[in-house]
Amino acid sequence: MEIGSEFHFYFNKSKSSYQKINIFKFNDTLVNYGRTAIKFLIESLRKTESLKGILLPNYLCESIIQPLKESGIPYEFYKIDKYFKVQIYELEKVLQPGWAVFILDYFNLRLGEEITEYLKKIKDTNIIIEDITHSFFDQKDPIGHFQIASLRKWIGIPSGALIRDLYKGELRHFILPETCERNKVIIQKRFYAANLKRLYLENNLTEDIKLEYLNLFAEAENILDESNIKIQSIDSISQDIITHHDFKSMMKIRKRNYKILYNGLKDVSEIEIMNGIADSNKIPLGFPIKAVNRNYLRKRLISEKVYSPIHWPLPKELLRGATADILNISDNILTLPCDQRYTEADMYRIIDVIKKYYCR
């Protein structure tokens, strides 16, 4: 069985066999995509708070930059180091009154006391926006005025992201339009692809079925990437999947799988485990590592049907002025899957492939 890549759909066999957990708060606004959440929030803040610009970390993905370009808001980058820590003196160089500061919770890594205290000091003059996609289920106190998160990274849904308003609570009163025709096409393609993948995995179907669902996923992503962002609410299919998802089991399995990978790889000298030992207060999105000969290791994993994403290939805009620290991350990082789809045996299989590769 293959490990990783896009989610397939899996269903709770009995709605009474799990404990429902409400993952949302009263001040959440549900939208269709993470980039939508950013665009909606920025455009709202320009109207209500006279937002002048936004500061971003110099390590992120293109989908965070896209909504800023479409909104026409000025943006600049501040530096982080090779441990994903914000360099305060670099942030201070570019910080201006009326500008927001965008903070990324990289792979559940904590910001650290020094930067946390600094952000608290500037909250009166600068809006703080936290991207908590990687730490959505963690037990930790918020830092920012607003939080955003993509829910699609956690479970198999065609769309889904949120904005959490910890400031004035006004965003939740906006009535967002329902899904437009273009987004309906994206959702239909993703829904059909995820079901095809489920059938492929459960019934050991032929490779042409795999090619079909991969093409559908790619087509949906291309439509999203090549179109302007439409600010819309989450679709009804995704909302229903979230309502009936067993989040308690999901969190338990992710923590278990992370622990297995940690114990199995901690002594491999060619591997640097970026988030350290398992933490009971953290629910891992994945298992990020820095790996010697990363690209060759990734090819070996793929040959064994283990698909590990790179978070992230740098956008051209960042690649031009990338620091040595940023290149070190981008050239060596790999995220091993450890989510709720996989068993303990799957984790041991990943460990075995990696150890055999480095011991060849």
**pLDDT, tens only, 5-40:** 999 886 554 455 556 678 888 899 999 999 999 999
Residue 223 lies in a domain: no
What are the structure tokens assigned to 325, written together? 């620290």
pLDDT attached to residue 4:
96
d(C-alpha 22, C-alpha 168), whole Å: 22
Domain that holds residue 166: 28-173
- Asked if 168 and 265 sit in the same domain, the reply is no
- Asked if 158 and 251 sit in the same domain, the reply is no
pLDDT tens for 257-297 read: 999 999 999 999 999 999 988 888 899 999 999 999 999 99
Domain CATH code at residue 40: 3.40.640.10
Residues 87/79, Cβ–Cβ less than 8 Å: yes
* Domains: count for the chain: 2
- Asked if 72 and 163 sit in the same domain, the reply is yes
Those residues whose C-beta lies under 8 Å from the C-beta of residue 222, and which sit 6 or more positions away, are: none
pLDDT attached to residue 67:
96
β-strands 271-273, 287-291: how paired? antiparallel
d(C-alpha 240, C-alpha 236), whole Å: 6
Instruction: Tell if the pTM clears 0.75, that is, is over it.
Output: yes
Residue 217 lies in a domain: no
Domain CATH code at residue 295: 3.90.1150.10
pLDDT tens for 288-334 read: 999 999 999 999 999 999 999 999 889 989 988 899 999 999 999 99
d(C-alpha 234, C-alpha 109), whole Å: 28
> What CA–CA distances, in Å, run from 80 to 58, 114, 142, 305, 306?
7, 14, 20, 33, 30
Q: Which of 118, 149, 173 is the last residue of a domain?
A: 173
Q: Which of 139, 106, 135 is nearest to 281 (CA)?
A: 139
- Asked if 251 and 161 sit in the same domain, the reply is no
Residue 261 lies in a domain: yes
- Asked if 164 and 33 sit in the same domain, the reply is yes
**What is the separation of C-alpha 114 from the centre of its chain, rounded to a whole number of angstroms?**
25
- Asked if 33 and 137 sit in the same domain, the reply is yes
Residue 228 lies in a domain: no
- Asked if 354 and 254 sit in the same domain, the reply is yes
Residue 187 lies in a domain: no
Q: Which of 173, 205, 229 is the last residue of a domain?
A: 173
Q: Which of 157, 173, 189 is the last residue of a domain?
A: 173
Residue 200 lies in a domain: no
Residue 339 lies in a domain: yes
- Asked if 252 and 149 sit in the same domain, the reply is no
Residue 226 lies in a domain: no
